[in-house]
A = this chain, B = another copy of it.
Amino acid sequence: MTTLVKSVQRLTFEHKLVLGYDTTMRFSQLFTKTRHEAPKDEVSKNAQLLIRGGFIHKEMAGVYSYLPLGLRVLKKIKIIIREEMNAVGGQELILTALQEQKIWEKVGRWDDEKVDVWFKTKLKNNVELGLGFTHDEQLVNLLTEYISSYRDLPLYVYQIQTKFRNELRAKSGIVRGREFVMKDLYSFNRTEEEQDEFYEKIKVSYMNVFSRCGIADRTYFTFSSGGTFSQYSNEFQTISDAGEDIIYLDANKRIAVNREIMDDKVLSDLGLRKEDLTEEKAIEVGNIFKQGTKFTDPFSMSYKDEQGEKKSVVMGGYGIGVTRLMGTVVEVLSDERGIVWPVEIAPFQYHLIELGGANPSVRERVLATYQALTEQGFEVLYDDRDESAGVKFADADLLGIPTQIIIGEKTLDEGDGIVEVKDRKSGEGGYINIQEILQS
């Protein structure tokens, strides 16, 4: 039975602050309710399940609010990303949504003909502003004030920020939003060699993120179109029916090629053979890009080297769609009963299901269990509602919390300290002593 007990991180008082409210919550106190049906105009699986579970609310196509359960998941993904970005030396800042024309004209990206996803708006004096769909220009402009010497490099900065993209169509739920959360990290290096070293590090760090979010096994390092300064850029593509990209995958080598650049020359270049490849639909959950001096030169971002010689700064950009990542997890890990959250990003670690709480002995046992778990710093959603077992089980499966702990009259017969546990993913279950969890 001990295989039913997963190793989960205990939460401290400070962690509660990150998550925004107590680690534990009574279902009856949560204002959201589960639903049988998603809105009719919602065609994507991720949004259907997240809306039915009360994680998100649809405001309009591609624009979603995050309700308490959804915000908990989002915050946990941000914690993971922050930790991995800090581990490679990233310094966090936060730029703005409102963008000035003059900055974007430097690299020629202000024009709506050049960039077709701009949302534009106007100040009172009719000066036009844009809403940031990315932040390369703004950041480079800012950093020119701080970078002047080789001593100021290398520099790695990132933000986790809301971006706006005026997508013509937005039918993929939170996988393609018009307003969405993105992590964008930017590297500034003295040389291409120095950048190459960082590039290798960030590859590992990205796979750590996807691994901790439970989708590493189906996420592939993919070659995509480069630019003036690099032959290829790289994407992290997660195999999914909901994917809008097509990739050609060599499953053994764990390498893929985006259809956009697929040809014989590329294959030979990458040492891949057509017959080893399968065509897959995939979601781009991350991308990394060597930008050379595309942005730094137009902003005259340079540094003086040890010999006092002026040199261009070599730049790279590294994105993860944070809300898209959350949607992708739902797309690929859910089953016919609902969502299956990996433990590290689940809104709660344990779903405590009370059956027949009108029986004082049951209620007493449940409350004791709830209190013991809480005191140990576990995150628990306690279903204290006056609902049938069927409703409670269906809701628990829909919400997708990794481990269900069930206590009813039947459980009491099993003896002191015994509870029923059920693994959401495998459906495996059985009776264990609560101490196995408390001491895990």
A residues engaging B (CB < 8 A)? 11-12, 14-15, 17-18, 20-22, 30-33, 57, 59-60, 63-68, 71, 79, 82-83, 86, 90-100, 119-124, 129, 131, 138, 142-143, 145-147, 152, 155, 157, 162, 164, 166-168, 178-179
Contacts and interface: CB of A to CB of B under 8 A. Distances in A.
A63 B50 CA distance: 34
Nearest to A147: B31
Contacts of A120: 121-122
B164 A86 contact: no
Contact of A97 (B99, B100, B129, B162): B162
A68 B92 contact: yes
Contacts of A98: 59-60, 63, 164, 178-179
A147 B32 CA distance: 9
Given A98-B164, A98-B179, A91 B21 contact: yes
A57 B142 contact: yes
A397 to B, nearest CB: 21
A65 B166 CA distance: 23
This chain's copy number in the assembly: 2
Contacts of A96: 59, 63-65, 179
B124 A131 contact: no
5 contacts: A17-B83, A30-B91, A59-B96, A123-B178, A124-B168
Given A31-B152, A59-B100, 20 more contacts: A12-B12, A14-B14, A14-B15, A15-B17, A17-B82, A21-B86, A21-B92, A31-B143, A31-B157, A32-B146, A57-B142, A59-B95, A63-B98, A65-B96, A65-B142, A97-B164, A120-B122, A121-B131, A124-B167, A124-B168
Contact of A82 (B20, B123, B145): B20
Contacts of A152: 31
A185 to B, nearest CB: 13
A31 B187 CA distance: 13
Nearest to A148: B33
A91 to B, nearest CB: 5
Nearest to A35: B145
A91 B22 CA distance: 10
Contacts of A31: 91, 143, 146-147, 152, 155, 157
A94 B82 contact: no
